[in-house]
Amino acid sequence: MSGDNIKIKICMGPGGIAAGGNDVIEAFKGQLTNQRINASFGEQCSLHQVGCRGLCAKDVLVEIIIDGKETIYENINPEKVPRIVKEHILGDNPVKEWIAGEDYDNFKKKQIKVVLSHCGEIDPEDMNAYIEAGGYKAAHKALTSMSPSEIVETVKTSNLRGRGGAGFPTGLKWELGLRIKSDVKYVICNGDEGDPGAFMDRSVMEGDPHSVIEGMIICAKATESHKGYIYVRAEYPLAVKRLQQAIDQCLQKGYLGKNIFDTGFDFDIRIFQGAGAFVCGEATALMRSIEGKRGMPTPKLWRSAEKGLWEKPTVLNNVETFANIPKIILNGGDWFRNLGTERSGGTKVFSLTGNIKNSGLIEVPLGISLREIIYDIGGGIEGGRSLKAVQTGGPSGGCIPAALLDIEVDYESLAKVGSIMGSGGMVVLDETNCMVNTAKFFLEFTQAESCGKCTPCRIGTKRMLEILERITNGNGKEGDIELLEDLGSHIRATSLCGLGMTAPNPVLSTIRYFRDEYEAHIKDRKCPALVCRNLITYSIIEEECTGCGACKRACPVDSIRGVRKKPHKIDPELCVKCGTCFDVCKFKAILKA
Amino acid sequence: MKKILEKILKNYYENEGNVISILQDIEENFGYIPEEAINWFSKKLDIPASRFFGTATFYSQFHLKPKGKNILTVCRGTACHVKGSERLINRILMELDIPPEEDTSEDGKFTVERVACIGTCSMAPVVVINGRVLNKVTLDKLFKEIEKLKKRSKYVRG
């Protein structure tokens, strides 16, 4: 072995775990033991699990650092581990063909990591690693040498806006929280990341839990609060575990609890696990949920900063917002402000998914163009197909068509084209995706998640969904598009909370940019993207069929007939259009039309 | 059952619990929310059973019926949808003979659940099989897993 100091970092973010990160860790442990290398902490060779590195498409990513020289491997599985250990760690000769290539470099180039600066670098379960990386310096600074109003001023200067989606200036929220006097005040961190297609907050809570806690401590000092809650989705068990671990470590070290840093300041944090309701991401619903009730929004007669949880003043921010705070306190408000645009400071984390080559977690300065994100960072569309639209903001957002790809990504520009920034989901749609079906998908979601309290949302979304269902089933009627637009604008205007007010967005924005697709469904009874089941047929191209029988065996309803080595036939009466035959045919003999 | 309920009650008092935390404890211990458990707590705490019931039906984490031995959770997030999760669900339901409007097979061996999003979008589509995440799922991959589960449950009767 050449070096004395060997570090192996294995990506265990959401992508890493799903790609089998645990097995890779075990394989490394086994190999290192076999080779009699002492692979424990602080020894010659150390093994670390780290948070999300970003390029999940190439997971499991493994970084090996020998005497400060970094090498990153992509697509690693347990079978590849023995060779890496033998050739690279023992022989000091990296395995060239597995080293992360061009995609990885391009992926990183235009990103600036503020919130994610520790993700993928440090072991999230190791508090010392966080402290060594500069952690808790900001909290120490805020508690020992800054007054609450100084902290508020710094955050105001930074131009940080709420990263949950609405974009309310964080400094203003904190100022109000400080101004209102009360014996009890609360700080709440909203980790109820419910948007389908988004995993920014999950990655931060799992990959760098201490940064969230540090941000909350600073917020508590700034607003003179002594009790905090983190509301985490039940679907994120690892985030709950890591946050709880981090809280316990802080209590032990005296960074939480009584008399933090010997300053006489007290602050406690408790985790509250959500129970699976999207609407609980809405501030008032979230607070009712912590109180143990059904998570139903209440009219906003007061700001939460005046009357929130248990009717007490409450400052509620999103996970990513809190994770930004320590960096702002350390580097100053101006530094953060200058990273972004004039109206919104800093960077934003997005989860880039869907039909894109380099899917993963990215952090970019606000004001970057959508084109740069999709093509420079994301590497373009998979399989050489063409881009149709980018969906941002989840079920509350909209679809931005390919023609508008040069817009800047910030709160105002996205709103102008009928979408929203949202919490950071960015789903890429290509020519194989049907826009009517996409709109229906989002409405199905909001309809199911509607709490049922106010009529426009409860019944309005139901009626909209019924119309979309008949359109995708081929029973659309003349005037349906106009009816959707009419209903949508009423629901938007009259719903009680954000969920209802934004629910029509996916429908309205797809009608705005893809009206022709709606019309094709209604007038021609055709789905141009060949997605909607009732509007497509499957048949076998006789010349291409080899009669192998693969489709016949796979068909769940026995609708395919034929003898071996002779062209087969699909019985359209029996076919349920599940598409299995299309998937299993190796000769491209199944025609979808 | 009473012993477990007593334990949950103790936890409620010690950790300043509420209706949701009680329901979460019940679900964790029994795998669903039995009616008797709700009635028991309703009497003990003098909270109307309707409050428990109303809360349990509001949140998708709670089940009022027992679940099957094997649990397949199909992610219905946007990324998974774009990559064809709708077709996966339809095909699984067919394969496992689960009647429409139901989520558990008649023999109680399989439950198919949908989840809004589990945050593994870059690996879409994903299906969680008994807690293990299966990524970039194809029908082929899925059938193999289901076959394995079917074989296993043949030996473990009960």
Q: What CATH number should be reported for the domain holding residue A376?
A: 3.10.20.600
pLDDT of residue A429: 94
Chain B residue with minimal CA distance to A352? B122
Residue B82 has its nearest CB partner, among A234, A427, A579, at: A427
Q: Which residues lie across from A540 on neighbouring strands? A: A590
Are A505 and A544 found together in one domain?
A: no
Question: What percent of chain A clears pLDDT 70, i.e. is strictly above it?
Answer: 98
Contact by Cβ (8 Å): A120, A68: no
Are A205 and A320 found together in one domain?
A: yes
Are A446 and A410 found together in one domain?
A: no
The CATH number that domain B70-155 falls under is 3.40.30.10
Q: How far is CA A206 from CA A14, A42, A187, A361, in A?
A: 8, 23, 20, 13
Residue B122 has its nearest CB partner, among A57, A291, A579, at: A57
Measured CA to CA, the distance from residue A139 to residue A328 in angstroms comes to 11
A331 domain-assigned: yes
B19-34: pLDDT as tens digits: 999 999 999 999 999 9
User: Do A441 and B81 count as a contact with CB atoms less than 8 A apart?
Assistant: yes
Q: Which residues contact A409 (CB under 8 A, 6 or more apart)?
A: A348, A364, A366, A367, A368, A369, A370, A373, A421
- Residue A43 in 3-state DSSP? coil
pLDDT of residue A42: 46
- Give the pair of three-digit tokens for residue A555: 């068909």
- Give the pair of three-digit tokens for residue A299: 């009219």
Are A446 and A475 found together in one domain?
A: yes
**CATH code, domain carrying A11:** 3.40.30.10
pLDDT, average across residues B105-118: 88
Cβ burial A174-184 (10 Å sphere, 16+ → b, else e) = bbbbbebeeee
User: Do B20 and A429 count as a contact with CB atoms less than 8 A apart?
Assistant: no
Q: How far apart are the CA of A514 and the nearest CA of chain B, in angstroms? A: 17
> Based on the structure, what is the number of domains in chain A?
5
pLDDT, average across residues A386-410: 94
User: Do B91 and A441 count as a contact with CB atoms less than 8 A apart?
Assistant: no
Nearest to A205 by CA among A238, A173, A183: A238
Q: How far apart are the CA of B83 and the nearest CA of chain A, in angstroms? A: 7
Are A394 and A284 found together in one domain?
A: no
Are A280 and A177 found together in one domain?
A: yes
Are A507 and A547 found together in one domain?
A: no
User: Do A275 and B19 count as a contact with CB atoms less than 8 A apart?
Assistant: no
Are A423 and A439 found together in one domain?
A: no
Are A140 and A90 found together in one domain?
A: no
Q: Of A52, A75, A106, at which residue does a domain stop?
A: A106
Q: Of A71, A106, A141, at which residue does a domain stop?
A: A106
DSSP secondary structure string, B46-108? T--HHHHHHHHHHSTT--SSPPPSEEEEEE-SHHHHHTTHHHHHHHHHHHTTPPTT--B-TTS
- Give the pair of three-digit tokens for residue A184: 């009890």
Which residues on chain B place their C-beta less than 8 Å from a C-beta of chain A?
Answer: 17-21, 23-24, 54-55, 58-62, 76-83, 86-87, 90-91, 94-95, 115-124, 126, 133, 135, 138-140
A133-150: pLDDT as tens digits: 999 999 999 999 999 999
With a cut of 80, say whether residue B154 has pLDDT above it.
no
Contact by Cβ (8 Å): A133, A119: no
- Best interface-test mutation with B: which of A22, A427, A432, A434 has the largest number of B CBs within 10 A? A427
Q: Which residues lie across from A425 on neighbouring strands? A: A351
The domains of chain B are located at: 2-58, 70-155
Contact by Cβ (8 Å): A260, A217: yes
Measured CA to CA, the distance from residue A482 to residue A487 in angstroms comes to 9
Are A262 and A302 found together in one domain?
A: yes
A115 domain-assigned: no
Contact by Cβ (8 Å): A175, A224: no
Contact by Cβ (8 Å): B86, B114: no
- Residue A456 in 3-state DSSP? helix
In 3-state terms chain B splits into helix, strand, coil percentages (rounded to 5) of 50, 10, 35
Phi first, then psi, for residue A591 (nearest 5°) are -105, 125
User: Do B91 and A278 count as a contact with CB atoms less than 8 A apart?
Assistant: no
With a cut of 60, say whether residue A247 has pLDDT above it.
yes
| Residue B59 vs residue B100, higher pLDDT | B59
- Give the pair of three-digit tokens for residue A556: 């769940």
Chain A residue with minimal CA distance to B54? A294
Q: How far apart are the CA of A225 and the nearest CA of chain B, in angstroms? A: 20
Are A227 and A268 found together in one domain?
A: yes
User: Do B58 and A278 count as a contact with CB atoms less than 8 A apart?
Assistant: no
Are A331 and A367 found together in one domain?
A: no
pLDDT of residue A234: 84
Contact by Cβ (8 Å): A130, A51: no
pLDDT of residue B91: 86
A82-105: pLDDT as tens digits: 999 889 888 888 999 999 888 888
How far is Cα of residue A22 from the mean position of the Cα atoms in its chain?
22
User: Do B91 and A578 count as a contact with CB atoms less than 8 A apart?
Assistant: yes
Domain of A490, in residue numbers: 435-523
Q: Of A308, A323, A339, at which residue does a domain stop?
A: A339
Question: What percent of chain A clears pLDDT 90, i.e. is strictly above it?
Answer: 71
Measured CA to CA, the distance from residue B139 to residue A274 in angstroms comes to 32
A529 domain-assigned: no
Contact by Cβ (8 Å): A189, A286: no
A27-78: pLDDT as tens digits: 988 888 877 765 554 456 788 899 888 888 888 999 998 888 889 999 999 9
Roughly what angle, to the nearest 10 degrees, separates helices B49-58 and B19-30? 70
User: Do B121 and A234 count as a contact with CB atoms less than 8 A apart?
Assistant: no
With a cut of 90, say whether residue B158 has pLDDT above it.
no
User: Do B59 and A236 count as a contact with CB atoms less than 8 A apart?
Assistant: no
